[in-house]
Amino acid sequence: MEARKLQLTGGSTYIVSLPKRWVVASGLSAGDTVFLETQADGSVSVSAKPGEKPKPRRKTFEETGEGQREHLLRKFIGAYISGYGLIEIHFKPEAGPLVRRVAREFCRMVIGPEVIEETRNAVIIQDLSDAAELSADKCLRRMCMTVRAMLEDAVQSLRTKDEALARDVVQRDQDVDRLYWLIAKQYHLVHARSPVASDPASPGGIHNHRLVAKLLERIGDHAERIAGACPLLSQKGIDPKFLREIETANASAISILDKAFTAFVAADIETANEAVDSRAAHQRLIDGLSHHVATRKGEELLALATVADSLGRAAGYATDIAETAINHAIFTKPETP
């Protein structure tokens, strides 16, 4: 083992010289490119050529033909989230139509997998997604923008009685689910390849990203519930004063979400605390809504109660994001000497 000192050049770049014997033995010369890879223990390996891409992990299922669509679909999603790059399913010929249909449905539901091979009694699915192109950071930002717009449009559909907009909100929830599953997959794929806490691809970093992704997915579910109440409430009509209260509560929930997500991205504890503290005022709005809901009857009561409950829960999940942002900030920011 040789010891070599780091040198600082340009004010921001550290360099270290390589042993001449290794350079010559590797057939390198001045101007050639070497490849660096961070290892699980924090060390860095240097090689004269890029390492080979590891072979994708394979998961094989045996389908008897007695399973239900939902059971088979859960297997596919479980294998995808667990990070298997190849999913192979064997089945009896009579189960072929079900398996092929569910396999294609699964590929439409998630990001990356495609059916690459079919035989009379087998289907092979390969994940073609590139984690570098769809990082956890990018997925989270897209999820947040989507669920934020879903909340706005869900309440807009109630105000304008626009059932087409409500259906669009419901459909967008599928996009949120796809992004969540992708982040969950990345979580399982990550190994301790970088000990740097600020690296989102470190185990601690991706853990917080997965927590926030799940909370955003829950908010999307509640935007979908609000939109689902549109057809009935469009027929019954909503009292203008009650509608204003719904819009105020929705704006409050979105405000908490904005602060919470900004705090997570910026590792800003102060903004995160502002989001958490805003929950009390939001809850008072929800209590007022619930009081007015209690004066309604039948299906109208149930639909309005769903709206009020979902607005309360959406803000609650946003508050959870803010609390995760505090944990994330403490985890990622280095201690001051």
Average pLDDT over residues 195-204: 49
Residue type, 249: A
Tell me whether residue 115 is in a domain: yes
The CATH number of residue 253's host domain is 1.20.58.220
The reply to whether 150 and 82 lie within a common domain is no
The CA distance from 79 to 2, in Å, is 44
Calculate the alpha carbon distances from 218 to 147, 158, 209 in Å: 9, 20, 14
Domain boundary among 94, 127, 160: 127
Say whether both 258 and 235 belong to one domain. yes
Same domain, 63 and 40: no
In a domain, 52, yes or no: no
> What is the DSSP code (8-state) at residue 295?
T
Q: Which residue has the tokens 């900030």?
A: 329
State how many domains the chain has.
Answer: 3
- 58-63 and 86-91: which strand pairing? parallel
Helix (H) or strand (E) holding 117: strand 113-119
User: Rounded to whole angstroms, what are the CA distances from 120 to 77, 90, 126, 254?
Assistant: 23, 9, 18, 51
Query: First and final CA of the chain: distance in angstroms?
Result: 32
Among 104, 127, 150, identify where a domain stops.
127
Question: Are 167 and 248 within one domain?
Answer: yes
> Do residues 24 and 141 share a domain?
no
- Do 178 and 326 fall into the same domain? yes
CATH code at 107?
Answer: 3.30.110.10
- Higher-confidence residue of 63 and 149: namely 149
Instruction: Please report, for residues 128, 138, 218, the alpha-carbon distance to residue 144 in angstroms, rounded to integers and kept in the order given.
Output: 25, 10, 11
pLDDT value at residue 333: 72
pLDDT band at 191 (very low <50, low <70, confident <90, very high): low
Asked if residue 202 and residue 257 are part of one domain, the reply reads yes
Tens digit of each residue's pLDDT (9 = 90 or more) over 136-187:
889 999 999 999 999 999 999 999 999 999 999 999 999 999 999 999 998 8
Q: Which two tokens stand for residue 67?
A: 């399973």
Is there a domain that residue 288 lies in? Answer: yes
User: For 60-74, 92-106, 243-257, 271-285, which range has the lowest pLDDT when averaged over its residues?
Assistant: 60-74
For residues 43 and 77, membership in a common domain is answered with no
Tokens of 65: 């033909």
- The domain boundary, picked from 73, 107, 127, lies at 127
Cite the DSSP H helix spans in 161-295. Answer: 163-189, 203-228, 230-236, 240-266, 269-293
pTM of the shown model: 0.79
Answer yes or no: is pLDDT of 211 > 80.
yes
**In the structure, what pLDDT confidence band is assigned to residue 324 with cuts at 50, 70 and 90?**
very high
Domain match, 228 and 285 both = yes
Residue 228 and residue 111 share a domain: no
What is the distance between the alpha carbons of residues 225 and 223, in angstroms, rounded to a whole number? 5
Range of the domain at 11: 7-47
Q: Would 38 be classed as within a structural domain?
A: yes
240 and 101 fall within a common domain: no
Taking the C-alpha atoms of residue 113 and residue 73, their distance in angstroms, rounded to an integer, is: 13
Examine the domain organization and report whether 289 and 236 are in the same domain. yes
Among 30-39, 119-128, 241-250, 261-270, where is mean pLDDT lowest? 30-39
Closest to 166 (Cα-Cα) out of 321, 306, 288, 320: 306
The tokens 């709005």 sit on which residue? Answer: 285
- AA identity, residue 140: L
Instruction: Give the separation between CA 278 and CA 229, rounded to whole angstroms.
Output: 26
- Assigned domain for 2 exists: no
d(CA 51, CA 311): 50
H helices, E strands: number in the chain: 10, 8
Tell me if 244 is assigned to some domain. yes
